[in-house]
Structure 1
Amino acid sequence: MREIDELANVDDPVWPELQQALAASAVPVRVLPADPAESRRTLLQLQVTARSVLGSLTVNTGGLVLDDGWVRVFGGGSSANGGVPSLAQVNRFPDAFDPAWHPATGLVVGQDVLGGVFALNGHDPAAAGRPGAPGQLTYFAPDTLAWEGLTIGHSAWVSWLLSGGLEQFYEGPRWPGWRAEAAALANSQGIAVYPFPWSKEAHADLAGTTRRPVPMREVLGVAADFARQLGPADPGFLGEL
């Protein structure tokens, strides 16, 4: 076990470099203020240092809100604009540090407003029904109800987000006017789509669907329930909100 000061107060933190990347981002990004106590609790359980992007986001930010609210990247937690939970809250970390505790299937690190979930694979992704190698990003796609491998780690994923990778990645699951709808949401909300994003009707004409803001937990809950009924497999844990 490394103590919190060993993790947070390092000689060569990545935060100055990350600040430059955030300032030069190809997409709109808001850096949320962190809850100091929660961010330190989270970093202690993660046992990663501020030399990593994961550790730096945890100790220096409450999370990131990208593309006018379409994607949220979790960090140390913030109460701003309806609140973004910390990595600890999303992943059900124990209240007190437990060296024996690890996320069962992987670490949820981000979500999008349609119920898409970005997660870092755990030590045995195949057993969890997820593609890719340990430590690589996977994405639960709400339009297919399945996990997809992204073949990159957390640091490369954040760089990809800031470099404009979202535009091509979400080319299909977006409609005219999506930006205004996402921007109007509180950080605790997502967008409920009907017919559902995985339906034949939504695939044929997403712009013709009915959409409304709802709590994010509702979006995730509906996607998880239908994935168990209709998808290729139980998606497992998608994050606690």
Structure 2
Amino acid sequence: MDDPAWPELQELFVTSAAPLEVLPVDPAEGRRCLLQLQVTARSALGSLVLNSGGLVLDGGWVRVFGGGTASDGRTMPSLAHVNAFPERFDPAWSPTVGLVVGHDVLGGVFALNGHNPAAAGRPGAPGQMAYFAPDTLAWEALEMGHSAWISWLLSGRLETFYDGLRWPGWTEDVAALTFAQGISVYPFLWTKEAHADLAGTSRRPVPMREILGVATDFARQMGTADPGFLSAA
């Protein structure tokens, strides 16, 4: 591929202001992701799935999905697995709602909007990033595309973005997780009690599926918009 995005991404990785780990890729799974996405390695999205198993930022607080990996006893699900791609290439299949491209440990979901995000209740324009916030149970428009989002993640702005959602000792708690786990907070993050005293909440590691399932159920019960698909992993 002429003019791949990977060398440019590698330069960003070297200068990252945020702690970063670039995971090795499962080559076959990375190629499967790229084929079903029908994008080229000239894009940041295509280069990430082809060349990396995923990105781990701030010690694991944010996970960006790539081609998937299983190394050193740790497994990062691939973008294909998280988004339930067909097992074999299907030219008729497309993620019309959008792609889930990252999670954070609290159950926040980063998604790349598809061609009709409004139909799925997501804000922002097609091809732009949106974030499902675990403390409000609502989607927020990030007003940037995928490649700009990667640059933003590496810029060191996560501390500001997560202001009020990190507690003393969070780095040790996150370091103890597997990539299939997140941190459950009780009282829940969207309650007045958690907003008033996050440090006083009870926190424990649980499967990410459980965190996302609870958030979806409460969003429906509380009358906010159904968040829709958050992950198949």
Q: TM-score range by the shorter chain?
A: over 0.9
Deviation for aligned residue 1:202: 0.4
1:25–1:158 Cα change, 3 Å: same
Q: Which moved more, 1:117-126 or 1:221-230?
A: 221-230
SS in 1 for 2:89: coil
1:117 aligns with 2:105: no
- Is there any run of 5+ residues in structure 2 with no aligned partner, and where? none
* Length-normalised TM-score, structure 1: 0.94
Q: Deviations over 1:176-197 (max 9, x none)?
A: 2111211121111100111111
Please report how far the alpha carbon of residue 231 of structure 1 lies from its aligned counterpart in structure 2 after TM superposition. Answer: 4.8
Q: Counterparts in 2 of 1:160-179, with a 5 A limit?
A: 160-179=152-171
Q: Secondary structure at the match of 1:126?
A: helix
Give the TM-score normalised by structure 2: 0.97
Which residue of 1 is the match for residue 122 of structure 2?
130
Tell me which amino acid in the other structure corresponds to 2:172: A
Distance 1:160 1:174 in 2: 19
Q: Deviations over 1:127-183 (max 9, x none)?
A: 110100001000000000000000100000000000112111101211121112111
C-alpha distance in structure 2 between counterparts of 1:114 and 1:32, whole Å: 21
Q: Secondary structure at the match of 2:140?
A: strand
Residue 26 of structure 1 is aligned with which of 17, 39, 58? 17
Contact 1:131 1:149 in 2 (8 A): yes
SS in 2 for 1:238: coil
Q: CA deviation at 1:104?
A: 3.5
Look up the SS of the partner of 1:83 in the other structure.
strand
* Unpaired runs of at least 5, structure 1: 1-9
Aligned-pair identity in percent equals 73
SS in 1 for 2:18: coil
Moved over 4 A (4+): none
Aligned partner of 2:30 among 39, 52, 67: 39
Q: How does 1:1-241 map to 2 (within 5 A)?
A: 10-80=1-71, 81-241=73-233
- Partner Cα separation in structure 2 for residue 104 and residue 230 of structure 1: 26
**Any idea what SS the aligned residue of 2:34 has?**
helix
Describe the SS at the equivalent of 2:118: coil
Q: Residue deviations 1:70-117, cap 9 Å, x none? A: 000000011235311111111111111111111131100000000000
Count of residues paired in the alignment: 232
